[in-house]
Every structure is written in structure tokens, then in C-alpha cells.
Amino acid sequence: MRAAVLQAVGDKHLDLCYDIEMVEPTSHEVVVRITHTGICHSDVSAMNGTIPQDVPCVLGHEGAGVVEAVGSEVTATQPGDHVIAVWSPPCGQCEVCLVHQKPNLCSAIMYHPDRLRPPFSQGGTDIAAMARTGTFTEYTVLYEHGVVKIDDDIPLDIASLVGCGVMTGVGAAINTAKVQPGSKVVVFGAGGVGVSAIQGARIAGAAEIVAVDINADKFDKIKEFGATHAVIPEELDDLKSELTSGHGFDYAFECIGIPSVMRTAYEQTRRGGTCCIVGVGRLDEFVQFNAFELFYNEKKLIGSYYGGVDARVDFHRLLRLWRHGQLDLEGMISRRLTFDQINDGIDAVRRGEVVRQVVEF
Ligand code: NAD
Ligand code: ZN
């Protein structure tokens, strides 16, 4: 089958392969025919070493498709079901899921022995799957908790986006930061995740939503998703003075993954406000805070992992918002690509040109 493989960290392009094989599913696994996958910046970050990644590896973690086969003990899904892949599925039974009530942080399935074996191979060489998901492929094998069944009438292209970028951004606003009605919000980075944070802030009732991006060509488009203002970084201080009397924003979301922007997001947050880090930076890069300001400003500095998702619940919430016209998913698809165009899509992400691109198999 076809799959896009990262052969070595640092490679600029993925190896488009046509002879990839998949392991047999275990009794608790599900084979999914991937019909659509989004390209997330995290895929590019796995390529350049920002996100640690075993290689060779089938990238992609934002996908949807149709269940092709299920293991003998799988009960929640059956062949023919339309599903979204979950890159960090909850087991629903552990202390993290039940006591901490943080299903997005459950690692029981992520590191389940079934999922630790490489799901793909090529000519006898094992091939890993990004986030144990691997959606840049025609078929993938997922643990049963790693799929969420959706209604058959939901188009699978927009469903795929819910699997990462949309859930992460909307969830950061409504689950993690819990944006309040009437608040003032700034979002750094208007890619798929940032635009979703903008939409999440709009859904939560924010009064002002400022998008900050280096790519001004995107600004008209970004406003269609609910940003009330869009500026390049150099213009932000003036706008902050105008909108907040210089106090800063109630909420700031960093949706890029750059330490200096994380620091700026903290500075743009008002005293007592919330600075939410969604972007993923490198393990060996650091953000500095002086030992006085953390107490003095009383800002809440919080990370958001997968938008605080409980995939079993939140994917359906987002799709209901979409159904009733409150979450624009179609508008987020900047380009539709074939498998052979995946590397063009990767380059477009690097240039910051797109909101989201969807690859159709
Ligand atoms: P993207 O590449 O689509 O968008 C990034 C945007 O930031 C682009 O519009 C680009 O023009 C802009 N940008 C780049 N440098 C900038 C700067 N210095 N100042 C202002 N704007 C700048 O990325 P995406 O797919 O939306 O992902 C965004 C980040 O979120 C990535 O770091 C990704 O790894 C991360 N992510 C995190 C999670 C999570 O669970 N927290 C999940 C998915 C993605
Ligand atoms: Zn992602």
C-alpha cells in the first residue's frame, strides 16, 4: 500500500512508498482505511527533530476513514463504521482518566504493548507510526480506543481535521483556558491550530479576538473565522494599548512553538490573565521567567495537550457545533492534495501559507 515515510530525521521530504505492509491486527485492534488526512505542523516538527521521532516512520496523526476489519474482542466499532483517529486515546480506567479526570493525558493506550510494535514494514524493515497513529497511508492499524465512531453523513475530509488541529485549538480555548464571554483574547499563529483557537474563543463568547501572524496575506481569511483584528507582530503593542489600556489580554494562546513567541504571549497577558501554550517547541529550547514576575503578575501559565480532549465526548461536541454552523471546518481547508503532492503540502506548511491541507487517498 501507499504511505509517506520519514526515512531520517532532518530529511526535507518524505519518501513516497508504494510497497508498505501492515502488521496483522491483534484482538483489540482495528484496521482503518484512511480516506483523508490533514497535514499538521507537528508532522513537520517530527521531520526536523523538534518532536522526537523514531525512524523510519509513517507520519500523519490527523486522519479519518472507514473501519475495514476489527479484532475478535473489539466491541465498540465494526467494519463499515466511519471513524476519526485519536492520537492520544484514553483507556477510561486508570487513575489519570478517572481520578485526575485528564483523559487526554492517559498514556496507557499510547504505550500499550500492542502499540509498541511497529505497525508497518517495507521489505522486512520495521516502520514506526507517528504518535502510534500514522495516517499518511491508505490503511493503518489502531488500538480500539484510538478510533471514535462518527455519523455516516459527516464528510470525512472535515472529520479528519477534528482529529488534531481543530480539537487542539478549540479545546485549548474552551477546555484548557476556559475563555469567558466578553473577554479579550490574543492568538499567536494562524495555522490550523491557531484558527481553531480563534473559533473556540468566538464560540466561548470572547469580545475581541486578535490574531497575530507574520503572514499578512492570511488576514482577510482569518477574520472570517472570528478574529476581530489581525496584525503582524510589530503592530501588536499599539493594538494592546488601544484595546486593553495597556493592561494586556485576558487570554493569550501561543499556537506556533517558538520560545520567544511564548515569552511574548506571557507579556501580552494581563496580570491575573491566562497564557496558554499550545505550540510545541524543542526539548533543548527554553523560555525564561524571572523569579519575581511569576508571583507578582499572578498570570496563569498553562500548557494545553490535545486541547484537553476527551475524544469520546469532545469530537461529537465539535461536530455538533459544525452541524449547526458554529464551527467552520470546510473553510479551514486551504488546499486538497493527492498522495503524490504530500511533499508540496509539507513545503506549504513550512512557508506558513495555509490554514489546513487535506490529503485524499
Ligand atoms: P501552522 O504551521 O499551520 O501555523 C503556524 C502559523 O504561525 C503560520 O500561519 C505562520 O505564518 C505563523 N508564524 C510562524 N512564525 C511566526 C512568528 N514568529 N510570529 C507570528 N506568527 C508566526 O501550524 P499548526 O499546524 O497550526 O500548529 C501550530 C503549533 O501547534 C505547532 O507547534 C504544532 O506542533 C502545535 N500543535 C500542538 C498540539 C498540542 O497538543 N498542544 C497539537 C497539534 C499541534
Ligand atoms: Zn497535530
Mean pLDDT of the 121-132 span: 96
Determine the 3-state secondary structure of 271 from DSSP.
Answer: strand
Confidence of residue 220 (pLDDT cuts 50, 70, 90): very high
- Ligand of minimum distance to the alpha carbon of 169: 1
Find the 121 Cα to ligand 2 centroid distance in Å. Answer: 23
Mean pLDDT of the 319-331 span: 98
Residues of the chain with CATH 3.90.180.10: 3-163+328-360
Confidence of residue 260 (pLDDT cuts 50, 70, 90): very high
Examine the pLDDT at 113 and tell me if it is beyond 90: no
309-313: list long-range contacts, CB under 8 Å, 24+ apart. Answer: 309/86, 309/88, 309/103, 309/104, 309/167, 309/168, 309/171, 309/175, 310/90, 310/103, 310/104, 311/84, 311/86, 311/89, 311/90, 311/103, 311/148, 311/167, 312/90, 312/92, 312/103, 312/148
Span 3-163+328-360: which CATH code?
A: 3.90.180.10
Cell of 334: 486551504
Ligand 1 pocket, CB under 6 A: 40-42, 45, 164-165, 168, 188-194, 212-215, 233, 255-258, 261, 278-280, 304-306, 349, 352
Q: What whole-number distance in Å separates Cα of residue 20 and Cα of residue 138?
A: 10
Cell of 144: 480500539
Give the residue, by CA position, lying nearest to ligand 1 atom 20.
213
Find the 129 Cα to ligand 2 centroid distance in Å. Answer: 14
Residues of the chain with CATH 3.40.50.720: 167-307
- Ligand of minimum distance to the alpha carbon of 87: 2
Find the 280 Cα to ligand 1 centroid distance in Å. Answer: 8
pLDDT of residue 13: 98
- Ligand of minimum distance to the alpha carbon of 216: 1
The answer to whether the CB of 105 falls within 8 A of the CB of 176 is no
| Predicted TM-score of the model (pTM) | 0.98
The answer to whether the CB of 12 falls within 8 A of the CB of 6 is no
Rounded to the nearest angstrom, the gap between the alpha carbon of residue 102 and the centroid of all alpha carbons in its chain is: 17
Span 167-307: which CATH code?
A: 3.40.50.720
